[in-house]
Structure 1
Amino acid sequence: MGMKILNVDDEFDMEMLITQRFRKQIREKQFEFIFAHNGLEALEKLDENRDIALILSDINMPEMDGLTFLSMLNERGDPALKAVMVSAYGDMDNIRVAMNRGAYDFITKPINFEDLEITINKTIEHITMLKLFQKERDQLIAIKNDLSIAKEIQQSMLPKESPPFPDRLDIDLHAFLEPAKVVGGDLFDYFLLDENRLFFIIGDVSDKGIPAALFMAITKAIFKSHFLSPTCGSITDEVRQVNAFLCADNSSFMFVTAFLGIIDLKTGVVEYVDAGHEPPLIRRKDGTVETLKKHGGLALAIEGTFPYTTQVMQLSHGDTFFLYTDGATDANNSQKERYGLARLREHLEALTGEETPKQINDKLLVDLKEFIGTEDQFDDITVLTIHYKS
């Protein structure tokens, strides 16, 4: 498609001169000229041809002069529609007014057609650049809107009620996910398997942004599907099946570290699988803080036949189980210091024992943001805090 150019001039021989001068470009469909003889007629032509991009307009014309036409043109608010004004040599007052009203350039009469061609080509380059910029801007806006929707979808997949089980006297928990980008690759979930068993999981996908968010959604959904299934087997059976599923056709070579388990709410026994995740912390009722000993375990989606095994730990009434992703410990401040595991321990040690999991997490998130300060958050931060109530 050629560039549509509107020529506005009350001299009727101008149509013939332009058609003759640019006959090669017209024949090769580089240019398509449309002609009008005053400002009013030009406005009608613009309404009939919405794809006109360049206007060559005389200033002195009957019915509506070029300056008035230029003012009307500005009201249309099309930044890619550019006008080159034509006026008599030495008519600098009108040329100055035209430039102040938004004309892109000007040429003088008698017209030097070589100069006119250079001006047209220069203006077309500018228009093309503006249109490309507008297209890229529209694409960025569309991507931003898609990301906003993706964020809403991702957040809607995560448990949000606090406390989640308000009628229970034996358990309280809270979690948050603070993505480094609009969407994140961390995950958490928890739900009751029956009256006395609570399933929980926290995980961290190896990437960030949209790819990680998609992998996170798949991982979370498949775990929930397996553990809520009527045919759900042992923890190790289900984890091995989920791992095999995530490994299949994993062309992106992404993986997920995870810590998941089931708490027996009658006894406080926690049967868990550590799939290469950060070691959780336990704040005992007496205020002491322990780091759960690591027993190995490979991240999910790396080796489809990895023989995951379970470990067992004991929670007592009044204990708080604290799980996190490495976005918390690896957070950096402006001095390039890490937040670190020691600060997490100090956060738990400083508690009175009366705080709810939500209060613990809210205070931690404030502390993390103050620590990070003006630095960019480079990794997703997720925390899951479980309180086995007295």
Structure 2
Amino acid sequence: MGPAMENNEKSTKILIVDDEPDVEVLMKQRFRRQIRESKFELFFAHNGLEALDQLSKDLEIRLVISDINMPEMDGLTLLRNINEKFPAVIPIIVSAYGDMNNIRAAMNLGAFDFVTKPINFDDLNVTIDKTLTHIQNLLDAQKTRSRLDGILHELNVASEIQQSILPRNFISDTNIEMFAKMAAAKEIGGDFYDFFWLDDAKSKLAIVIADVSGKGVPAALFMTVSRTLIRAHAYNHLGSPGGCLTKVNSALQKDNTNVMFVTTFYGILDVNTGVLTYTNAGHNPSHIIRKGGQVETMKNIHGMALAVIEDLVYKEDQITLNIGDTLFLYTDGVTEAENPSGALLGDEKLIASLDQYRNLAPSELINTIRSDIITYANGWPQSDDITMLAIRYLAGKQTQ
């Protein structure tokens, strides 16, 4: 099995959190060789509260494997507490197959990796090995604290590079007006937005917003690869966001050793007609602020996040922007912004804000919502990247 931490003679202490009564017997049976050889020492808890109590009593526990759905305290709340109270502990979460909402939430809360039910124990062994290697790397890193200043400098440089990759030449003419902003939760983030013309006539505008699982350097690297692939395949699938994301998904899924994924919205706006052809790969639903009307939610989801399932074919839909309508795209850092009591901002508050600020220009709209998020958080630290993009459709291009 994987590396022992600190030295080869000391058992690795693993806490398993699950409310199923047969889990303890099953885990002991599956890892009986590692237990017999003193490689693993297993501890068990039936909910998040018991797990926190166990962690407080034994500070040598560095790895937690936790279910999500449990009584008294669920796995997501446990992750939040581990992140705040036991930052040296590395969690792995267990979730139902295809439960992307909980998996994404868990990764944003600091889970290192995930396995799906029913558990494949070969896969669990690989995940544990990878996590223990990660923990050992963290322990090694703690011994080289003298390099911290240099690392922080490199992160600041990386942040500047990442921000420079995001386009800033926002279009503002007689046809469309747009603005976007990305605020990373750490020095560098995994969110990104993009926009670019697909034709010389500047009639087809590609619009992208995406959210990579996790944060920090790995997410930033995956973000750069994802953005590059989308741009590359967009020109080969000029009228088909679905065709583009189908190719990007296959490329990302290959050699995805870090089990990362990226939720993505990709749309192509025909500036002449206002028709938006779009594909949503597991991303938050976008909204259209109808001029003189309601806020319309684009609820269609065309598949899971990119890099999760191989050979997945993404479909697409169309919707029309009328003159004066505003398209609003965002990542889950907006609706999942927390206040000190742990309450999320939520979809209803966002939609109410979009309705309230409907007459603001795209730049004012985004900056005002960002200010409202800061006010709502009331000093609570930002836990996820926050990205927004808004486009107001002003008029179709005049044909010659």
**TM-score for the superposition, normalised by structure 1:** 0.62
Partner of 1:199: 206
Partner of 1:366: 371
Matches within 5 A, 1:352-363: 352-353=358-359, 355-363=360-368
Cα distance in 2 for partners of 1:186, 1:361 equals 16
Question: What displacement does 1:314 show?
Answer: 1.1
Matched, 1:329 2:322: no
Partner of 1:386, secondary structure, is: strand
Q: Which amino acid aligns with 1:144?
A: L
Q: Which amino acid aligns with 1:215?
A: F
Partner of 1:318, secondary structure, is: coil
Structure 1 runs of 4+ with >6 Å offset: 132-135
Partner of 2:60: none
Cα distance in 1 for partners of 2:142, 2:394 equals 57
Question: What displacement does 1:232 show?
Answer: 4.9
Question: What displacement does 1:358 show?
Answer: 0.6
Partner of 1:144: 152
Q: Note the residue ranges of structure 2 that are not aligned, 5 or more in a row.
A: 1-139, 396-400
Matches within 5 A, 1:1-390: 136-161=144-169, 164-166=170-172, 168-194=173-199, 195-228=202-235, 232=238, 234-353=240-359, 355-390=360-395
**How many pairs were matched up?**
254
Cα distance in 2 for partners of 1:352, 1:283 equals 7
Question: What displacement does 1:136 show?
Answer: 3.8
Partner of 1:218, secondary structure, is: helix
Question: What displacement does 1:178 show?
Answer: 0.8
Partner of 2:198, secondary structure, is: strand
For residues 184-236 of structure 1, the C-alpha deviation after alignment (integer angstroms, 9 at most, x for no partner) is: 0111100111221110010011111110010001101111122245x757332
Q: Which amino acid aligns with 1:247?
A: Q
Q: Which amino acid aligns with 1:313?
A: I
Specify whether residues 296 and 135 from structure 1 end up closer, same or farther in structure 2 by C-alpha distance, changes over 3 A only: closer
Partner of 1:110: none
- 8 Å CA contact 1:173, 1:357 repeated in 2: yes
Partner of 1:20: none
Cα distance in 2 for partners of 1:328, 1:227 equals 27
- 8 Å CA contact 2:263, 2:306 repeated in 1: yes
- 8 Å CA contact 2:302, 2:315 repeated in 1: no
Partner of 2:368, secondary structure, is: helix
Partner of 1:84: none
Larger Rg: 1
Q: Which amino acid aligns with 1:175?
A: A
Question: What displacement does 1:351 show?
Answer: 2.0
Question: What displacement does 1:248 show?
Answer: 0.8
Specify whether residues 372 and 274 from structure 1 end up closer, same or farther in structure 2 by C-alpha distance, changes over 3 A only: same
Question: What displacement does 1:316 show?
Answer: 0.4
Partner of 1:335, secondary structure, is: coil
Partner of 2:279, secondary structure, is: strand
Cα distance in 1 for partners of 2:171, 2:342 equals 40
Partner of 1:216, secondary structure, is: helix
**TM-score for the superposition, normalised by structure 2:** 0.61
Question: What displacement does 1:135 show?
Answer: 8.0
Cα distance in 1 for partners of 2:179, 2:372 equals 17
Specify whether residues 233 and 284 from structure 1 end up closer, same or farther in structure 2 by C-alpha distance, changes over 3 A only: closer
Cα distance in 1 for partners of 2:225, 2:390 equals 23
Q: Which amino acid aligns with 2:333?
A: G
Partner of 2:91: none
Q: Note the residue ranges of structure 1 that are not aligned, 5 or more in a row.
A: 1-131
| Percent sequence identity over aligned pairs | 40
Question: What displacement does 1:296 show?
Answer: 4.0
CA RMSD of aligned residues (A): 2.0
Question: What displacement does 1:148 show?
Answer: 0.5
Specify whether residues 242 and 340 from structure 1 end up closer, same or farther in structure 2 by C-alpha distance, changes over 3 A only: same
For residues 276-303 of structure 1, the C-alpha deviation after alignment (integer angstroms, 9 at most, x for no partner) is: 1101111000041111122441110011
- 8 Å CA contact 1:287, 1:349 repeated in 2: no
Partner of 1:59: none
- 8 Å CA contact 2:268, 2:276 repeated in 1: yes
- 8 Å CA contact 1:289, 1:348 repeated in 2: yes
Specify whether residues 311 and 157 from structure 1 end up closer, same or farther in structure 2 by C-alpha distance, changes over 3 A only: same
Q: Which amino acid aligns with 1:278?
A: N
Question: What displacement does 1:137 show?
Answer: 4.2
Specify whether residues 283 and 197 from structure 1 end up closer, same or farther in structure 2 by C-alpha distance, changes over 3 A only: same
Cα distance in 1 for partners of 2:141, 2:381 equals 28
Q: Which amino acid aligns with 2:208?
A: I
- 8 Å CA contact 1:181, 1:208 repeated in 2: yes
- 8 Å CA contact 1:177, 1:187 repeated in 2: yes
Q: Which amino acid aligns with 1:157?
A: I
For residues 43-102 of structure 1, the C-alpha deviation after alignment (integer angstroms, 9 at most, x for no partner) is: xxxxxxxxxxxxxxxxxxxxxxxxxxxxxxxxxxxxxxxxxxxxxxxxxxxxxxxxxxxx
